[in-house]
Amino acid sequence: MFIPTSARAERLVAPVTRLGAFALATDTKSLHLGDQGHLWNVRLPDGAKRDVPFRAAVKLEVQEFSKPAPARPPDGNTVRAVLTPRLSPDGRTLVFGAAGFLWMQPVSGGPAQRISHATALESEPAFSPDGRQLAYVRTQYGQDSVELLELATSQTRVLASGDGFSELTWSPDGRRLVAVASAGFDQEVVAFDVADGKRERLTVAGSWSPRPQLSADGRALFYSADATGVGNLYRLALARDASPEQITHLT
């Protein structure tokens, strides 16, 4: 753009893709600028462009792709944060997150022990209603899986994998596990059959954190969503063709 110091209107001299620094020649008859990987000489005032040849030596150093190092607990006995504490249904055991892993500790006291020896990150613990299983999210190399740990035998099986999972909660009868699954920019509330892993989408909550909970009889889902542009609480009957019912009306 040429902007005169007089009262005359400004005018376009030379369109560029992305304008950076430029220099005006000492005789004010041309501009020098860079654009699209070239140096240009632009004649003023008509804007005729001439490519200015140049040579440059460029060195690019590359290295072999390496996977991130597995997370490890810090040295010593000090951790900087304790997250997501969950109390077992019988009130005797506490599970919590620290240093990227899940730990189990008796409420009566004693040292905390990791729930597994895996090197992957662990999060989102949830006890089954009978206290026999612990569901949690295992994350490794950018992939999530929902794991079920049999507390009596320490055996683990994968219930689901692939999506970004969070906010696990069980149905009151222990037959289904509800989770939040990332679906692009939206959050979906999904349910998994604990027996066979069959997945069912219950609702979409937008970008809001849903924090889903099932009713005591397992027939309704309570969750939050920003469907109106503001976060509100919703109730969804778990029946065919049911529509969400907005419970709160925050504005």
Strand partners, 188: 181, 204
| 154/40 same-domain check | no
Mean pLDDT of 195-222: 92
| 139/187 same-domain check | yes
* Band of residue 75 on the pLDDT scale cut at 50, 70, 90: low
| 117/158 same-domain check | yes
CA 30 centroid distance within chain: 51
DSSP label at residue 11: B
Strand partners, 159: none
Give 74 or 44, the one with higher predicted confidence: 44
Evaluate whether residue 46 is within a structural domain. Answer: yes
Q: Exposure pattern of 27-64 as b/e (b: 16+ CB <10 Å)? A: eeebbebbbeeeebebebeeeebeeeeeeeeeeeeeee
With 60 as the cut, is the pLDDT of residue 217 above it? yes
Strand partners, 154: none
End-to-end CA distance of the chain: 46
Half-sphere exposure of residue 158: CA atoms within 13 angstroms, side-chain side: 9
- CA-based nearest residue to 165, from 202, 115, 123: 123
| 231/137 same-domain check | yes
* Band of residue 76 on the pLDDT scale cut at 50, 70, 90: low
Cα dihedral across residues 208, 148, 169, 91: positive or negative? negative
Q: Which domain holds residue 229?
A: 83-246
Question: Count of CB atoms within 10 A of residue 14's CB?
Answer: 19
Residue 134 CA to residue 65 CA, distance in Å, equals 35
User: How many domains are contained in the chain?
Assistant: 2
| 92/205 same-domain check | yes
DSSP label at residue 161: E
| 17/110 same-domain check | no
| 122/230 same-domain check | yes
Residue 176 CA to residue 201 CA, distance in Å, equals 12
* Residue carrying structure tokens 């000090």: 78
Evaluate whether residue 145 is within a structural domain. Answer: yes
pTM over cut 0.85? no
Evaluate whether residue 251 is within a structural domain. Answer: no
CA 211 centroid distance within chain: 15
pLDDT at residue 229, rounded to an integer:
82
Mean pLDDT of 36-59: 83
Residue 140 CA to residue 229 CA, distance in Å, equals 34
With 70 as the cut, is the pLDDT of residue 18 above it? no
* Band of residue 32 on the pLDDT scale cut at 50, 70, 90: confident
| 200/100 same-domain check | yes
